[in-house]
Every structure is written in structure tokens, then in C-alpha cells.
Amino acid sequence: MADLRPMRDEDVEAVTELVYAASDDPRPSDAVAHARYRYPLRHDADGAWVAEDEAGLAAVAIALRREDLWMLTEISVRPDLQSAGLGRRMLERVHAYADGAKGRLIASSRDPRALRAYARLGLDAHPCLAAYGVPAGVEAPDGVREGGADDLDFAADVDRHVRGAAHGPDLGFLLEGGQTLLVSDRGYAVVGDTGGVRILAAYDEDGARTLLRAALARADGRAVGVGWISARQPWALHECVAARMALSADAGVLFAGGDVGPFHPYLPSGAYL
């Protein structure tokens, strides 16, 4: 049986290998992947756990706490040990990091085992769509600018309005990794270098639509993605359809429980929710 222990810095490379061996997701550069899995050790060491057996690293689970909000950001089990109960043990361990939290969030794949496990936690399921393609006919709106570190306090206020808790250091980490912050007087968005949306939060739907159009307008003829569009976000669906982007029902499922705010208008990050 695999032994569970807190994750350490020297585990980062092995964690990266395990995660992408157990996933169909495209693999980023080692520098990007290692930074992502080292990051929780700086802020959420109590929520980062691994399991080991005689063959080496067997599983990893990582959860974040931001104010009164708990989020599961990673759980992976070595392929030869899947469906053997190790994933359940790992989930139980990092779910203990939710003690005292008012809200809980998980962005799940469509894996039936994961869906079952998260439903057992008593969380509500919100199936999501994703949009992908080259946006057509989208013009950059007025009133949106590129932001920076000086805008993070404003972004935190928007976060608390929308999801009941700020992202804390997460937005700064994304900006350090080369993402761009777009800011208006109604909200903010974090986008990739071609306009793909990582996070979008606003005080109202009109502000959210404006920010999404600003993000899509940055695509400049390249395909971009908008993920985690739940039934709570029809404004995002309508903007993506208007931009002639293709829709997919394979995006995954958001699980939410407790006080997570209105969660509207909001597009979360899969990693930082």
C-alpha cells in the first residue's frame, strides 16, 4: 500500500511526470509545469500531498485555501494504481484542508470516477461548455486597458463580490508567468498572449461581456479558447456564439458547495478556480 506524506520541493519533477502520464491534457514546457507544481508549496503546504510505494511516486493531490474558500486544483494517480482506492485516500487527505471553509470548488474532468468522488463530497454539479476557434467580427471595446500589480486590489474586490473570496497571490503568479491582466471599471480578465481567457470576473453582465470581447479581440486571427462556461454564464455563451466560435460539451464539470458567492458573471480558471 502506498504511504501518504506532505509534498516536498524535490517532488516537483516527479509530480509533473505523474500528472501528464495520467492525463490527456497538452503538456507545457518543463519550466511552466514545474513552476505550477512548486507554487502551492509556497502558499498551501498543508494542502499538498503525495503518495509513494516501492515503484516511486504513486499519486498527488493539491488543494488551495483562499480566505474562506477551498479549491481542489490537482489530483492524479499513477495509471497502474487507478481504481484501486488510492485516489479516494488522497481526496480525503486534502479535503481535510477544507475544515472551516465556507465554500468549496472543484473543476473536474468528465472522468466518471472523479465525478462520483466529488458528488460524494455533497457538492453541486454544474456541467460546462467550452468555446474554441478564431473569433470573427470582434472589435476591441472602449474602456478596457492592460493592467498590472497596482490593479490587484481592485481585482480582489471583484473576486469577493463574485465568488466570496479573493484569489490572493494567484493572479500575481499568473502575471509573473506571462499572462495579461485586462481591467475595466466593472471587472477584470486574465488572458493568454493570444487572447484565450484564463479568468474573468465582473460586477455585472455588461461589464463581463465587454471584457470577454476585449479578450477575444486580442486573438488577431489565431484560435483561442474560453472554458468553464456553465449554465450560470449565458452571457459568455452568447458572446462566443456571436464570435462564431465552435462549442464543445467536453469541457468538464464545476462542483460547488457552501458559500461561493453568486459565481456570476464569472469564468474560472481550471487550476485556480
Residue 205 lies in a domain: yes
Tell whether 76 and 158 lie within a shared domain: no
Query: Of 85, 101, 117, which residue sits at a domain end?
Result: 101
Would you report the helix, strand and coil content of the chain in percent, each value rounded to 5? 35, 30, 35
Residue 135 lies in a domain: yes
DSSP line for 11-66: GHHHHHHHHHHS--SPP--HHHHHHHHHHHHHH-GGGEEEEEETTEEEEEEEEEEE
10 φ, ψ (degrees, to nearest 5): -70, -5
Residue 85 lies in a domain: yes
What is the total count of domains within the chain?
2
Tell whether 74 and 167 lie within a shared domain: no
pLDDT of 138 reads 96
Tell whether 46 and 147 lie within a shared domain: no
pLDDT of 204 reads 98
69-127 confidence digits (pLDDT tens): 999 999 999 999 998 999 999 999 999 999 999 999 999 999 999 999 999 999 999 99
Of residues 256, 234, 266, 262, the one with CA closest to residue 247 = 234
Residue 115 lies in a domain: no
**What does the alpha-carbon distance between residue 201 and residue 190 come to, in Å, rounded to a whole number?**
9
Domain that holds residue 140: 130-251+258-267
CATH number of 135's domain: 3.40.630.90
**What does the alpha-carbon distance between residue 273 and residue 176 come to, in Å, rounded to a whole number?**
18
Share of the chain above pLDDT 90, in %: 91
Tell whether 8 and 81 lie within a shared domain: yes
The rounded Cα 27 to chain-centroid distance in angstroms is 16
- Which residues does the chain have with pLDDT short of 50? none
pLDDT of 140 reads 95
CB 77 within 8 Å of CB 58: yes
Single-letter amino acid, residue 76: S
Tell whether 15 and 86 lie within a shared domain: yes
Tell whether 93 and 156 lie within a shared domain: no
